[in-house]
Amino acid sequence: MSKSFSYRDLRIWQEAVELALDVYRTTIAFPKHELYGLTSQMRRAAVSISSNIAEGKGHSSDGDFARFLFHARGSLLELQTQIAIAQGLGYLGKEQAIGLIGTTDNLGRGINGLIQTVRGNPRTRGFAKSD
């Protein structure tokens, strides 16, 4: 995969940053006793997604980039689990949880597609945002 553009140009990085901002905004309403528990875990997982995409893009090989994309996907799955727990505890309403899970599902599809592209699958192209 060409290194001619920045991680900031990747649509999935942009979406991951937006997701992290959404998670921060949402967890502000969580109980204060969760500040160092579920609130912190959700925020760290959300930030880790875009951070791993950026770090992987900065490495010198497609193999390294793919490895960091797998880490990003792992953090995404952690976040989905934490969203389910937050909903189960009543910290998230059903609509909030559905919205966040929908966002994470879409982002997961984008990460999976980019993994395919980086690994050389020719049927998936065009993951850089061009505006």
The pLDDT value given to residue 126 = 45
**pLDDT tens profile 62-94:** 999 999 999 999 999 999 999 999 999 999 999
The pLDDT value given to residue 127 = 45
Return all residues near 16 (Cβ < 8 A) that are at least 6 apart: 46, 49, 50, 53, 72, 107
List the domains of the chain with CATH numbers: 7-118 (1.20.1440.60)
The pLDDT value given to residue 4 = 61
**pLDDT tens profile 12-58:** 999 999 999 999 999 999 999 999 999 999 999 999 999 999 999 99
